[in-house]
Amino acid sequence: MKPPVLLTRKLPASVMARLEASCAVEQCEGDGLAARREFLTRVAGKQALVSMVTDTVDRTVIEAGDALQIIANVAVGYNNIDVAAARERGIIVTNTPDVLTDATADFTLALMLAVTRRLGEGERMLRRGDWKGWAFDQLLGMQLHGKQLGIVGLGRIGRAVAARAQAFGMTIAHTSRSDAGMPLDRLLATSDVVSLHVPLTGETRHLIGQPELARMKRTAYLINTTRGPVVDEAALAWALKNQLIAGAALDVYEHEPQVHADLLTLENVVLAPHLGSATTETRTAMADLAVRNVIAVLGGDPPLTPVT
Ligand code: NAP
């Protein structure tokens, strides 16, 4: 008998084939509230759960999953999972580090360039039919070369962003809890671009709020590709509206898929719909790593990438 496994979303065909070769796979189909009810019913009796960043795997789900041995999240962040509740029941939680680092770092640079070079503003102007031709002083942005990039959280993605930014001629400052990084206050006050790469935890929720935004240079930009709640979105909208900072570029939001109404009306913010790791290659590699974790654990082997 193949062990039963629950998927909350469909995975790429090659990865599904690998999983189906050794497991009996069931997949959730509902949306919204129906999805939550279906999730709770279907997780019962399953030995593994493959979850996505949008699935809230809280204590209720974990208790309903009476036979779970592993929860394999298809993401590096695992703030959607109650890891302590899983641990209490001896359930292994895994994530997908490394395989998404390059894609997410590339996208961070894409956002940084888009906001500092006013790409969104320019495209909107052109599509509206308001472009009257080349002008010497039209939509002047900020050059990255020679500017300081402040990286908040110099982990895998933070380092990959730093390497790319150095190639653009930027100098790097970073915060860290574990080595001699720059204190956050000083990083905020001295950086021309601030990019957030800390995981979402109790400690980092609203790490950037009104006082922190007020500390930044008026000419500086904020980039958030980590998790929405790391930034107080209402405070950010206020800071952008009052030109306390020059601009922001966001991939993640406090209440996805909702975006603060004021942000939608402002020109000095670039808004992306959570695309950090969204390349075909990376999403396939993430799904593959999650499935290899499931196969390992259900086969009695240690997980490849456990959350510790
Ligand atoms: P990582 O290697 O664990 O890096 C996170 C870094 O944050 C660590 O090096 C840690 O450094 C630092 N940190 C943790 N708590 C902190 C705190 N309270 N204050 C300051 N620094 C703190 O993780 P990663 O692979 O780079 O991924 C980072 C995050 O990116 C994920 O958690 C996820 O939320 C996000 N992400 C988003 C997307 C997207 O689609 N937009 C895609 C992938 C990942 P120290 O321990 O040295 O302080």
- Could you tell me the end-to-end alpha-carbon distance of the chain, in angstroms, rounded to an integer? 31
**Mean pLDDT of the region 218-228:** 98
Residue 227 annotated as catalytic: yes
Mean pLDDT computed over every residue of the chain: 97
* Bond prior to 183 in cis (omega within 30° of 0): no
Catalytic residue among 227, 260, 283, 292: 227
pLDDT at 112: 99
Residue 37 annotated as catalytic: no
pLDDT band at 88 (very low <50, low <70, confident <90, very high): very high
Of all residues in the chain, what percent carry a pLDDT higher than 90? 95
Q: Which domains does the chain have, with CATH numbers?
A: 4-97+280-298 (3.40.50.720), 101-271 (3.40.50.720)
Residues in CB range of 273: below 8 A, 6 or more apart:
251, 257
Atom of ligand 1 nearest to the CA of 154: 9
Distance CA 81, CA 118 (A): 37
Q: Is 150 in the pocket of ligand 1 (CB under 6 A)?
A: no
